[in-house]
Amino acid sequence: MIEYSYKIIKSLRFAKHRKHYNKFVIEGKRIIQSALEFKLNIGYLYCSEHFIKENSDWIKNNIKNKSIIKKVDKKQSVRISNTKSPSGILTICDIPPKKPLNMNICRWVFIDQITDPGNMGTLIRTCAWFGINNIALSPGCADPYNPKSIRAAMGANFGISLYTNVNLHTFKNSHKIIAADLEGTDVNTYVFPNKCVLVLGNEAHGISNQNRKYIKEYISINKLGIGNSLNVSSAGSILIYLLMNK
């Protein structure tokens, strides 16, 4: 097991360094608990003295090999953390290797140039909750291994397959491609086909121009109250739930 310098750990908050080392950082007991449950290949656990003292039972029950625990003082904990108030436990994970798309999988969510890492993480968490195990990301998306994405996903990254830099036209001959639009068919009456891709577009601009030509059908969420639109995370949650339950 490699012990990385604090400088390298801190550098993993940037995409170019995550790509260079093929690593990303996770923080917090709940997320690390998920990583352990999914048997991820994690590195050393950097724990503050306070965390070790307050979580002795959790450490005893979950960390079989105590030699992977590296005690850090408060200053060091702040230095390597990606948050203003460090949780006191941090580790490094491998970014999963890329694998080819499996066109036999019936239902996909395609994330089209969503740039906010918080929205990215929330959508990953939603997909995992409702049973979408495969998510395709277009070029230009926020990095799903960005620290903010990881925190928003709350460990959901570990149980699903993420495919980055995927072009939507890859699905045009195998799946019906569907997207949300205010003028689309009411999703309450819409029947999702067995093999389909649900496209969720950019927060400000919606579906990108280069991908609109591949959309076969549009669906909409009926407004019952007031407001101009829904946040992509909120709309995505509703549509993903219906996709997997209709």
161 confidence band (pLDDT: 50, 70, 90)? very high
Distance CA 135, CA 156 (A): 12
138 confidence band (pLDDT: 50, 70, 90)? very high
Distance CA 239, CA 232 (A): 10
Task: Find out whether 140 and 167 touch, Cβ atoms under 8 Å.
Answer: no
pLDDT at 179 over 90: yes
Q: Report the pLDDT value the prediction gives residue 204, as an integer from 0 to 100.
A: 81
Mean pLDDT within 165-192:
94
Q: Report the pLDDT value the prediction gives residue 182, as an integer from 0 to 100.
A: 78
How far from 144 is each of 62, 147, 151, CA to CA, in Å?
A: 26, 8, 10
96-100, 134-138, 149-153, 174-178, range with the lowest pLDDT: 96-100
Closest CA to 244 of 196, 186, 202: 196
Distance CA 233, CA 123 (A): 6
CA 44 from chain center: how many Å? 23
Signed CA dihedral, 105, 148, 28, 6: sign only: positive
Q: Which residue has the higher pLDDT, 238 or 205?
A: 238
Question: Per-residue pLDDT tens for 40-85?
Answer: 989 999 999 999 999 999 999 999 899 999 999 989 999 999 998 8
Q: Within a 10 A sphere around the Cβ of 221, how many other Cβ atoms?
A: 18
pLDDT at 242 over 80: yes
Closest CA to 210 of 123, 126, 140, 144: 140
Q: Report the pLDDT value the prediction gives residue 44, as an integer from 0 to 100.
A: 95
Three-state secondary-structure class, residue 15: helix
Question: Per-residue pLDDT tens for 108-136?
Answer: 999 999 999 999 999 999 999 999 999 99
CA 164 from chain center: how many Å? 11
Q: Report the pLDDT value the prediction gives residue 229, as an integer from 0 to 100.
A: 81
Q: Report the pLDDT value the prediction gives residue 227, as an integer from 0 to 100.
A: 84
Question: Per-residue pLDDT tens for 9-22?
Answer: 999 999 999 999 99
How far from 164 is each of 66, 89, 95, 100, 117, CA to CA, in Å?
A: 35, 28, 12, 11, 14
DSSP-assigned letter for residue 95: P
Q: Report the pLDDT value the prediction gives residue 41, as an integer from 0 to 100.
A: 87
Q: Report the pLDDT value the prediction gives residue 4, as an integer from 0 to 100.
A: 84
pLDDT at 246 over 80: no
Mean pLDDT taken over the chain: 94
180 confidence band (pLDDT: 50, 70, 90)? confident
Q: Which residues pair with 46 in a beta bridge?
A: 70, 90
Q: How many residues does the chain have?
A: 246
Mean pLDDT within 85-99:
93
